[in-house]
Amino acid sequence: MHVDDEPTNILLFEVNFKRTYRVISARSGFEAIELLKQNPDIDIVFCDMKMPGMNGLEFARQAAQVKHGLHCYILTGYDISPQVIEAINEGWITGYIQKPFDINQINDAINKALGRRS
């Protein structure tokens, strides 16, 4: 799943990954929580940090309650914050990826989350 409030970012993610993976996109944390409930087979989420209404950390905390063991990566154009480090240490965020993201970084994160070698 990819969560981002910017339609261009959603499109870029879908174009780059839909041939290899089933990509479910959401434009808000609220929408993503509902999609996560409707699609319990989702194992990995890439979520923008800065979104109106519910930021990436708020989404990740709620998503971890909806599905235990979910791999959630925060996508951010900013330096890693103390809150993100704390979330990683607490285990409800798997990691973070700097924007603009590199396709190989996303593939590596997916492979790591699924226990595959890249």
Q: Domain residues of the chain, as ranges?
A: 2-113
pLDDT in tens, the chain (118 residues): 999 999 999 999 999 999 999 999 999 999 999 999 999 999 999 999 999 999 999 999 999 999 999 999 999 988 888 999 999 999 889 999 998 888 999 999 999 998 875 5
Task: For residue 112, give the nearest of 18, 34, 46 by alpha carbon.
Answer: 46
The Cα 75–Cα 79 span in angstroms is 11
The Cα 97–Cα 87 span in angstroms is 14
* CA 80 centroid distance within chain: 15
Fold that domain 2-113 belongs to in CATH: Rossmann fold (3.40.50)
The Cα 24–Cα 115 span in angstroms is 21
pLDDT at 52: 93
